[in-house]
Amino acid sequence: MLQKKIPEIALLGQPNAGKSTVFNVLSDIKTSVSNFSGTSVDIAHSLIDIHGQTFHIVDLPGVYSLNPGDEAEKVTFEYLANEHIDLIIDVVDASMLSRSLELTVELMEFGTPMVIALNMWDEAERKGIRIYPEKLEKMLNIPVVTTSALYGKGIRELLEKCSEVVNGNRKNNRPVKMGYTSHIEESVQHLERSLENVEINKNGSPRFYAIKALETPELVPEEVLTSISRQLETMQDQIQDLHHKDVHETISYERHHLCMKLMEDTSHFVDRKTIPFRERLDWYFLHPFLGYFPLVLFFLVFFAAIYFIGNFLSDLIAVPLGKIPGLYEGLKANHPFLWYTFEGVFLGIEGAIGIVLPFFLPLIFLTSIFEDTGYLSRIAFLLDGFMHKLGLHGKSVAPFVLGFGCTVPALYGVRIIEHKRERDLTAILLPFIPCTARTAVILALTAAFTGPLGALFMYVFIIFVIGVTGKLMSLFMGKPMGLVMEIPDLRVPSLRVSFSKTWLRMKSFLKFAVPFLVVGSIFMGWLEYAAVNDVINRVLSPLVQTVLGLDERLGSTLVYGFFRKELVVVMANSAFGVQEVAAWTLSRYQVLVFIVFVTLYFPCFSTFIVMWKEFGKRIVLISALLSLVVATIAAFLVRLVLI
């Protein structure tokens, strides 16, 4: 008996239309993530059940149009064009109807059956926009469902419509043809007839590719363009002569006009007597001077919450973890190699679950909440001028904030930056941000030797070093691109959605970072078993003792720090033969030199692996060499000034 094929649903929408929120609610967090072949772009997918029937739903990267620019947009187009798709759910931002419908019109031209989720319905009503979904549905011949995904409203109706369309229970479920100006429409129809019997990609109508041949020829295979090149060139020249604009721009104007007309016919604005509180608050948040007051308050509350919650969770987890070494302690005398192996496994798990995770968990949860409020976009806008001085722009702020938790997910967060130059520079500078492991080292050492002022000095100095490094790097990498970004409306976040995002990011961390931490810790245990510490210390003596003015015994701790930053303190205790940090035979100024070097030199092993995967070996080599040079120079300067 042949197994029935599971229907495929693709979820599409413009950025900030709430597409991923719709996906999270539909999938009920039962989600897996994979890379699209040949790229570093994640595609989330899940199996959902509608009336006992299983559907496979895919959350494609948000796009403003089907004319791809960056890698994520190319992935969306390639998936649409070549993967099996039974239905497209087009998530439309009801509060920005005309702009959102521009993608809808392109999807209608594509020809695959559709359902429109008119999302953020509550936002539209708050803005005084009244939309008539029945009228929109009739004009487009596409099922339209009003949703407020953040609160789970309209999701059941959306599922019903999807099932109805996929199972053929709706007659004539093909979208209507939206006509352009007569002379453009004639050209489109002429090309459409020429392409009717030509196989271009797995999906997409001849009309869609006829329009793309006119406005974006690079999306059509070369052999197809060759067959219609003469008539295509004539048509493009005629359109350009008539409109005095590029064909791509002309068709974009036409599509925009169609969408404006659709909006006028299916909605109207209601006069508001007062300006809503959120809009007044937004004016304050975006003010070029006053906006910095809530910004400073945000960072104080944000990091204070992470610090206190992280310490609480760390203390909570430390109790059960502390009992585990006793289970294999008996192996140390008779089976030392086995003991070091088990110790490595334990230390890797302890580092991930006992040290990094307690701080990483509140960080990603709070970041998810602030993402959903829309405030992170306002931070990017306010700090854009400062970031430009580092050769970056405001969108680098979000990865940098994540970097204070763990560099690994922060590197994945760099994907939000469109331009390669800014992506590469952000990835190179990110490892200088003190993650939770390095923060643990800073706080442990300053608490024992210098007090809070020492910790404050370290953070100010490190930020200064990052600024100088970014400025110098930007001289070699050219000027940064200007920031063009959409600032979404301020919204009340949904705890359910924030919890789902936190779970997905935590699952990703546990899947990718923990194995590397465990492997690194095992290798570190084997090095200790082989008693190579003295050899390492002698090899690194010119750097550690001569340049940095530190005790030679600290050399081996730097090697171990490459695998696990937070174990630098533990290994240094072992090297000095003491139990407490305060018993180290170093002056407070030597401790500051040591902290600077440990914080800035090579990022950890798992960071290198992820950086290689995301950005390639060239960026990894630049990051490794730069971090070693910057750490050495910065620590040496601190030594000259203080010692």
Residue 432's pLDDT is what?
Answer: 92
Provide the total of helices (H) and of strands (E) in the chain, helices listed first. 29, 9
Task: Assess whether pLDDT exceeds 80 at residue 173.
Answer: no
Question: What letter would DSSP give residue 355?
Answer: I
Q: What's the mean pLDDT in 33-57?
A: 71
> pLDDT category, 86, cuts 50, 70, 90?
very high
Backbone angles phi, psi at 188, to 5 degrees: -60, -45
Backbone angles phi, psi at 375, to 5 degrees: -75, -30
> pLDDT category, 172, cuts 50, 70, 90?
low
Write out pLDDT tens, residues 262-301: 999 999 888 777 777 887 888 888 888 899 999 889 888 8
Write out pLDDT tens, residues 427-459: 999 999 988 778 878 887 888 888 778 888 888
Task: Specify the DSSP element, H or E, that contains 135.
Answer: helix 133-140
> What is the separation of C-alpha 562 from the centre of its chain, rounded to a whole number of angstroms?
25
Q: Can you give the residue ranges of every domain in the chain? A: 8-166, 182-269, 292-642
> pLDDT category, 142, cuts 50, 70, 90?
very high
Beta bridge partners of 87: 9
The class of domain 8-166 in CATH terms is: alpha beta
Residue 10's pLDDT is what?
Answer: 94
Q: Say which amino acid occupies 35.
A: N
The CATH number of 182-269 is 1.10.287
Residue 343's pLDDT is what?
Answer: 84
Cα dihedral 187, 190, 192, 197, rounded to 10, equals -160
Write out pLDDT tens, residues 497-538: 788 778 877 877 777 767 877 887 787 778 778 888 888 889
Instruction: Print the SS3 string covering 537-601.
Output: HHHHHHHHHHHCCCCHHHHHHHHHHHHCCCHHHHHHHHHHCCCCHHHCCCCHHHHHHHHHHHHHC
CA nearest 490: which of 229, 279, 179, 243?
A: 279
Task: Assess whether pLDDT exceeds 90 at residue 102.
Answer: yes
> pLDDT category, 628, cuts 50, 70, 90?
very high
Q: Among 20-24, 162-166, 304-308, 324-328, which stretch is predicted with the lowest mean pLDDT?
A: 304-308
Q: Which residues are within 8 A (CB) of 94 and not within 5 positions of it... i.e. 6 or more apart?
A: 100, 118, 119, 120, 121, 123, 124, 129, 131, 146
Measured distance CA(420)–CA(418) in Å, rounded: 7
Task: Specify the DSSP element, H or E, that contains 399.
Answer: helix 397-403
> pLDDT category, 39, cuts 50, 70, 90?
very low
Measured distance CA(309)–CA(490) in Å, rounded: 26
Write out pLDDT tens, residues 233-265: 889 888 888 888 888 899 999 999 999 999 999
Highest average pLDDT, of 201-205, 310-314, 338-342, comes from: 338-342
